[in-house]
C-alpha cells in the first residue's frame, strides 16, 4: 500500500519526501522494524520513540511519522526516507493501521466492552450467545484472542493499533461476521482503537483502578466514555449498567440502546436471584416480559455480566430464546471465580479480583456459598495505583474471617512496602503476612477447615509472577492444586 493511501484522514502538518513509497508493514518499535516499514514514533513516559528514528531507518524503514519539533530529516535525500509530521502520532498510528488493514471493522459487527470489572466474562458470554445464533465470532481480550475457535496468546487486554486492526482483518478473512473486544481505558486514552467502528458498546462499571495512569477518577471516566462519544457508529447502540453511578451518567446523556441492572428503571432487570455453588438462576424482566435465566457462573457480579451480555445480544438482534441458550451453554471463565477441586473437604476458588470493588464482590459471593469461614489470600501489584492498596486491605479484613496478605506482581517495587500499604487499611487484626505467594497459599490451606471457603484473589488466569522486573512461571490454580494435594497426603 502506498504511503499516500495510509495517510488518508490524517492531520498531516508536513511531508518531506515522496508519498509514493510502497509500505510493507507498520512498526512503532525500532527493534522489530522490517525493510519497507512505516515507522511511527510514539511519545512515552519512559521511552520516547522519536529517539529511535535513526535505528528504524537503519533497519529499513522507508517512511517515518513523528510529532512535534526537533526531529532531523537530514540525509533524507540520501536514504529516500519520507518524513511525515503529524499532530498526534498515537492517533496517526491508529488511523494508519486502520487504512493499512483495509478498515476491517467496517465489515464486522464489532462489539466493544469497557469498564473496570467484568469485561472478560461479559465478552465470553456475548461470544457464546452469537455462536448459539450460528455466527462465526472473533474475540479480543485479556485471557486470549480468538478467531472462531482458534485461540491466540494475549499480551495486552487491547493490543496496540496495528495488532488490533490485523486481528480484525484476520477475523474477516476467516469468515467472522461478528467480533467482541475488551476495550481498556489505557487503549482508549492512547487512541489504540481510534478510527475503529463499533456498532454496539457495553459499559460494565467504574471503580478505582489505574489511577497511576489516569490520575483522577474523572480522567478515568472520560477515557471510558470515549468509546461511546467518538467510536460508536451513528446507528449503533449502547448497553449500560444503570446501577453504576458513572453508568447512569453515561445513560442520562441520551444514549440509544439498553440500560440494565437491579434498579426498577432499568430496561433489562434481574429479579428472584438464586445463587448456589452450582450456579445462578434468576428472572430477567424486559418490557413487562419475564424470562428464566440459568448459568453455571456464580455471584451477583455475574448477574450483572449476564444482563450486560443479554443487552448486547438484543442490540445485535439475537432472539431472546437464543440469548438464554447462549447464557446457559457458556462455561466458566478461566480465573473468574474458578473452582479448584482435587477432592478436598472445603471449597477453593481462584479469582482475578484486583480492585477494591471486585474483591468486595468476590468475598461477598464466597460468603454466600459457605456456612464456614472465608479465608482470603491476596496482594496488590507493584508500579500501579497505590491508592487502592489500603482500600483493598480494609475490604479483605472487614469481610473475611482470615486474610493472608502476600505478593501479587511486585514488579520493580519492594514487596514489603506494598504489603505495608495494604496493612494500613486493615480494620481488624485477622490477617497474617507472608510475602512469598507460594508459601502464603500453603499457609492458607493449612488454616482451612471443612465447611470453609478458601479464596485466592488477584491473579486469576495469569500464568506468571513478575518480581524485580522478571517474569517467572506461576499459576495460582496449579500452586493451589499442588498444595492441597500435598496437605491431603500428609494428613
pLDDT at 277: 86
pLDDT at 134: 98
pLDDT at 213: 57
Class of the CATH domain delimited by 338-490: alpha beta
Please, are residues 198 and 187 in contact by the beta-carbon 8 Å criterion? no
Residue spans of beta strands (DSSP E) within 93-136: 109-114
Element at 470 (helix H, strand E): strand 470-473
Please, are residues 348 and 477 in contact by the beta-carbon 8 Å criterion? no
pLDDT at 135: 98
d(CA 456, CA 99): 44
pLDDT at 212: 56
Q: Say which residue the cell 479480583 belongs to.
A: 353
CATH 3.40.1190.10 segments of the chain: 102-329
pLDDT at 215: 65
CATH H-level superfamily of 3-99: MurE/MurF, N-terminal domain (3.40.1390.10)
Residues of the chain with pLDDT under 70: 45, 70, 72-78, 208-215, 491
Q: Could you tell me which residues come within 8 angstroms of residue 162 by beta carbon, excluding any fewer than 6 positions away?
A: 26, 27, 28, 93, 97, 100, 101
Q: Could you tell me which residues come within 8 angstroms of residue 393 by beta carbon, excluding any fewer than 6 positions away?
A: 405, 421, 422, 423, 424, 425, 426
- The CATH number that domain 102-329 falls under is 3.40.1190.10
Q: Could you tell me which residues come within 8 angstroms of residue 318 by beta carbon, excluding any fewer than 6 positions away?
A: 129, 130, 133, 326
pLDDT at 109: 97
d(CA 225, CA 385): 21
pLDDT at 208: 64
Q: Is 56 left (phi over 0), alpha (psi -120 to 50) or beta?
A: alpha
159-191 residues labelled b (16+ CB within 10 A) or e (exposed):
bbbbbbbbbbbbbbeeebbbbbbbbbbebbbbb
pLDDT at 214: 45
- Report the DSSP pairing between strands 198-203 and 178-182: unpaired
State the virtual CA torsion across 23, 40, 209, 164 in degrees, nearest 10: 0
CATH 3.90.190.20 segments of the chain: 338-490
pLDDT at 404: 98
- Report the DSSP pairing between strands 279-286 and 289-295: antiparallel
pLDDT at 77: 52
CATH 3.40.1390.10 segments of the chain: 3-99
- pLDDT tens digits, one per residue of 286-315: 989 999 999 999 999 999 999 999 999 999
Q: Can you spell out the DSSP letters for 446-459?
A: HH--TT-EEEEES-
d(CA 96, CA 38): 9
Amino acid at each position: 500500500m502506498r504511503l499516500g493511501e495510509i495517510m488518508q484522514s490524517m492531520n498531516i502538518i508536513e511531508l518531506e519526501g515522496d508519498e509514493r513509497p510502497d509500505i510493507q508493514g507498520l512498526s512503532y518499535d525500532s527493534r522489530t522494524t522490517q525493510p519497507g516499514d512505516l515507522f511511527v514514533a510514539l511519545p512515552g513516559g519512559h521511552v520516547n520513540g522519536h529517539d529511535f528514528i535513526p535505528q528504524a531507518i537503519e533497519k529499513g524503514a522507508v517512511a517515518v511519522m513523528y510529532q512535534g519539533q526537533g526531529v532531523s530529516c537530514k540525509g533524507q535525500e540520501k536514504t529516500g526516507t519520507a518524513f511525515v509530521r503529524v499532530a498526534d502520532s498515537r492517533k496517526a498510528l491508529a488511523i494508519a493501521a486502520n487504512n493499512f488493514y483495509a478498515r476491517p471493522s467496517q465489515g464486522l459487527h464489532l462489539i466493544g466492552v469497557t469498564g473496570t470489572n467484568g469485561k472478560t466474562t461479559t465478552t465470553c458470554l456475548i461470544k457464546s450467545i452469537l455462536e448459539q445464533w450460528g455466527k462465526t465470532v472473533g474475540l479480543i481480550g485479556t485471557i486470549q484472542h480468538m478467531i472462531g475457535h482458534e485461540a491466540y496468546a494475549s499480551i495486552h487486554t487491547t493490543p496496540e493499533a496495528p495488532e488490533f486492526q490485523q486481528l480484525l482483518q484476520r477475523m474477516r478473512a476467516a469468515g467472522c461476521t461478528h467480533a467482541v473486544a475488551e476495550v481498556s481505558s489505557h487503549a482508549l486514552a492512547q487512541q489504540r482503537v481510534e478510527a475503529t467502528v463499533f456498532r454496539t458498546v457495553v459499559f460494565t462499571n467504574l471503580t478505582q483502578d489505574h489511577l497511576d495512569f489516569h490520575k483522577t477518577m474523572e480522567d478515568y471516566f472520560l477515557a471510558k466514555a470515549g468509546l461511546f462519544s467518538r467510536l460508536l457508529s451513528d446507528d449503533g447502540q449502547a448497553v449500560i449498567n444503570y446501577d453504576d453511578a458513572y453508568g447512569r451518567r453515561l445513560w442520562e446523556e441520551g444514549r440509544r440502546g439498553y440500560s440494565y441492572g437491579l434498579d426498577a428503571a432499568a430496561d433489562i432487570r434481574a429479579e428472584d436471584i438464586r445463587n448456589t455453588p452450582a450456579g445462578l438462576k434468576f428472572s430477567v424482566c424486559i418490557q413487562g416480559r419475564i424470562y428464566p435465566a440459568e448459568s453455571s457462573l456464580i455471584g451477583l457480579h455475574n448477574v450483572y455480566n449476564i444482563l450486560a451480555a443479554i443487552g448486547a445480544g438484543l442490540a445485535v438482534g439475537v432472539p431472546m430464546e437464543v440469548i438464554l441458550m447462549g447464557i446457559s451453554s457458556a462455561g466458566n471463565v478461566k480465573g473468574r471465580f474458578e473452582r479448584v477441586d482435587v477432592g478436598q473437604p472445603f471449597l477453593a476458588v481462584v479469582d482475578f479480583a484486583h480492585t477494591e470493588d471486585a474483591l468486595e464482590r468476590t468475598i461477598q459471593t464466597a460468603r454466600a456459598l459457605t456456612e464456614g469461614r472465608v479465608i482470603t489470600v491476596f496482594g496488590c501489584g507493584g508500579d500501579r495505583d497505590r491508592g487502592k492498596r489500603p482500600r483493598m486491605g480494609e475490604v479483605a479484613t472487614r469481610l473475611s474471617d482470615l486474610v493472608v496478605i502476600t505478593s501479587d506482581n511486585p514488579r520493580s517495587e519492594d514487596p514489603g512496602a506494598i504489603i505495608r500499604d495494604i496493612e494500613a487499611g486493615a480494620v481488624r487484626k485477622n490477617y497474617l503476612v507472608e510475602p512469598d505467594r507460594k508459601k502464603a497459599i500453603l499457609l492458607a490451606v493449612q488454616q482451612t477447615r471443612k465447611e470453609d471457603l478458601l479464596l485466592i484473589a488477584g491473579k486469576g488466569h495469569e500464568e506468571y509472577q513478575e518480581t524485580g522486573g522478571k517474569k517467572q512461571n506461576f499459576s495460582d490454580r496449579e500452586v493451589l492444586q499442588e498444595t492441597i494435594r500435598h496437605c491431603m497426603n500428609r494428613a
